[in-house]
Amino acid sequence: MFVFLSLFGLVRGKTLLVVLSCALLLGASMMSLRQASLEKSAVREFLGKNAVMKMQVITDPNQTKPKVFGSTLAPPSYSFLATALSIGVEYPEFHLRVPIRVIAADASVVGLLPGQIFRATGSVRSSKEARVAALFIVRGNIQDATPASRWAQSLGSIRTHLSQLSHNVDRGDGGALIPGMVLGDTSLQDQAFRDAMRRSGLTHLTAVSGANFAIISLFVLWCMQWFVRSIRMRLIFTTIALMGFIALVRPSPSVLRAAAMASVVIFARGTGKRSDSLPALGFAIAAVVVGDPWQARDPGFALSVLATAGLLLLAPRIARWLSRYVHEKIAGALSPPIAAVVMCAPILVALSGYIGPMTVIANLLAAPMVAPITVLGFIAALLSPFAPALSVFFLYLIRFPADWIAAVAHWSAKFPVVQFTTGLVGFAMALAIMIAVLAVLLFLKTRIRYVIAIVLIALLAFSWMTRWPAGDWQIAQCDVGQGDSLVINLGDHRGLVIDAGPDAALEDKCLRDLGIKSVPLLVLTHFHADHVEGVAGLINHREVGQVWVSNNPEPVFESARVNKWLLGVPQVNALAGSTASIASNRGLITLKVLWPDDAGQTYEVMPGDGSAINNSSIALLVSAPDFTLFTAGDLEPPVQAQIVDSLMRVDIYKVSHHGSLYQDSALMSRLSPTLALISVGTGNSYGHPAPQTLAVLDRLRSRVYRTDKSGAIAIGANAHRFKVRTSGGSKWWQKVRLG
């Protein structure tokens, strides 16, 4: 096909078609060759087995985000890329050179630097990461690590010292931001700040890219004019400085793209030829993709290229158009963030499902602070190992602009976002809107603008109508993966939350989508990680009035974490027989606790983890003017059978223990719910929900909604008639009436 396109292009004189087909042929060939080399690697023969492997470090080991497996929080682990040099069961059987992903729980790997060689024993697993041949999970400690080179030690020392000094100068978000903006090191940033940066559209500031290269290049060139007269010598010194900068910040996709583009521009200027940014960008894209074909599938690389293309192609046109209405300098300041946001919008929507209208304003407010932080931070980094006092002085100067950017991120993150559907549908909608915006701004005449404006408004209206939760709702089941979090709407941006799921980011996102700004009552049914780890996201800019907890504090590690997060919030041990009422905008909501009791009891242990803790879950019967609901955490059959006589028919049942096999059929029959909600993770290894449980609910004619299939679930209730909306697709309201 590629040959045919090339011949057709040559015959018809279509040079662009020839170039395009050749580029496609080259890219596809490189990807195929690299993929074939990975699939035929000797590492594949050891999949599912234990092996001894000799490896060379490629990237710095970084602590991974804590993961919840079932009811437990996995211990911290570290992840990095390495090159496998040899592999065998007890001794080297194969010598090779292929990339792998290494996961290690041993904290000593933190000291490893790129270039070091070490041995380790572990298990070889298949990996979903296309660029690696396998996943290697280290068992025990690393062995026989070679010393790092002086060059690697120097670079590592600079990164470590800058991070430590930044933290000492400013222990807030500003201090955590400085290493990210200067060297791309985000290890000091907590999850809440990362979410604020992402939501406000400022995440690109912590990914070293072309902007950093441009700033450093201009700074080095400016310094060189005082020492070197020859422009070529200045460019040589600038090139050397940039090579050191690449090694210092580590070669991420955006860094490689910016480095390739900068090298073309520097070469063109050094040879006296006219430099053109667009050919340089094209060469950069080709060079990076040929060198590492998997960069073409990296969203960060795509965003970097699109942002640069927007600055080169759209920013000048947008500036000229805006200068008709505002001052020329204001137009020049507004055009770069507008161009970057417009070009990157389809990718951002496909990844996150939303885009923040405040992104342009946030970038405009942050832009003046980028250059001083980059330049002074770079100087501080170079001085940090041997002149820490002077480095602290520079860091103290830039802590104020860094604090400003952090404040802008938190401020802009509070504003609502335009919600889209994630994936291909969201990408297509955002792409259509982007084309309409470009057409209106740049190309179309006055009459056609009205047509485009109508189309644009229609697309935005469709996006608004298909958003989640879409208007009035009373109960929402958050999509938090393999865990639980249910919210009852109290009105005025208040919500009663029952469990917080396993993921702080997902919990925070769900509550933001629901518009919940305060939580008068938080109920934590029990202290398993898949129900409480999300508390860290729930308290992000939200006040909690009171928390109900189980009388079983196990596991102690999790309950201690919860107590730390909710320090100062009144806690109540919820016991059977307790009742409470809470006001909502639709009337009084009554809560009745059916379990646990205060008597120590033992029950049959079910297969799986934590039966004793599961059976201490808080069971709640919720009665409101428009609905009745029963939820009971992870209660298992012995306790379910004990409380069945206290139950009645309800409208909504949040199925216990993620719909597992272990259910009391008498309890489900007594409830006979109209709607059954199952909170469960996609592709979980527990087999939840169990087919037997689903079969019972089907016999009861209950309409089942599960988060692994439908995403988040919002229910509107009016006099025991219900409307259900899910976030997993653009479905309209589905009316369900009580039979």
pLDDT category at 22 given cuts 50, 70, 90 is low
d(CA 416, CA 630): 32
Q: Select the more confidently predicted residue: 419 or 403.
A: 403
Please report where in the chains the tokens 């009459």 appear, as a residue: 447
* DSSP E strand stretches across 364-424: 418-419
In this structure, the strands spanning 475-477 and 486-491 are antiparallel
Packed helices 315-322 and 328-352: angle between N→C axes, nearest 10 degrees = 130
Q: Select the more confidently predicted residue: 571 or 338.
A: 571
Average pLDDT in the 428-451 region? 58
Checking if the pLDDT of 298 tops 80, the result is no
Single out the residue of 715, 713, 666, 659 nearest to residue 688, CA to CA.
659
What are the tens digits of pLDDT across the range 110-136?
888 888 999 999 998 888 777 788 889
The predicted pLDDT at position 676 comes to 94
pLDDT category at 316 given cuts 50, 70, 90 is confident
Contact present, 133 and 99 (Cβ < 8 Å): yes
Single out the residue of 263, 256, 333 nearest to residue 289, CA to CA.
256
Q: Select the more confidently predicted residue: 515 or 353.
A: 515
The predicted pLDDT at position 253 comes to 61
Checking if the pLDDT of 413 tops 70, the result is yes
Q: Select the more confidently predicted residue: 265 or 225.
A: 225
**CATH says 46-148 is which class?**
mainly beta
**Distances in whole angstroms, Cα of residue 29 to Cα of each of 1, 26, 296:** 13, 5, 13
Half-sphere exposure of 670 (CA within 13 A, CB side): 15
d(CA 184, CA 181): 6
The predicted pLDDT at position 735 comes to 45
Q: Select the more confidently predicted residue: 347 or 1.
A: 347
Which tokens sit at 395? 């860091």
**Distances in whole angstroms, Cα of residue 207 to Cα of each of 77, 173, 203, 402:** 23, 16, 7, 15
Q: Output the average pLDDT for the chain.
A: 80
Contact present, 622 and 488 (Cβ < 8 Å): yes
99-113, 499-513, 690-704: range with highest mean pLDDT: 690-704
Which DSSP string do the residues of 573-602 spell out, in sequence order?
A: E--TT-EEEEEETTEEEEEEEEE--SS---
The predicted pLDDT at position 238 comes to 80
> Going by C-beta distance under 8 Å and a sequence separation of 6 or more, which residues neighbour residue 382?
158
Packed helices 150-169 and 231-249: angle between N→C axes, nearest 10 degrees = 70
pTM: predicted TM-score of the whole model, two decimal places = 0.70
pLDDT category at 454 given cuts 50, 70, 90 is low
59 beta partners: none
Helix (H) or strand (E) holding 617: none
Could you state, in order of their start, the residue ranges of all structural domains in the chain?
A: 2-39, 46-148, 424-465, 475-737
Listed range (60-69, 347-356, 416-425) with the worst mean pLDDT = 416-425
What are the tens digits of pLDDT across the range 169-195?
888 888 888 988 888 788 788 777 887
The predicted pLDDT at position 485 comes to 95
Packed helices 150-169 and 173-183: angle between N→C axes, nearest 10 degrees = 150
Single out the residue of 509, 508, 564, 500 nearest to residue 533, CA to CA.
500
Reply yes or no on domain 475-737 having CATH 3.60.15.10.
Answer: yes
The predicted pLDDT at position 608 comes to 53
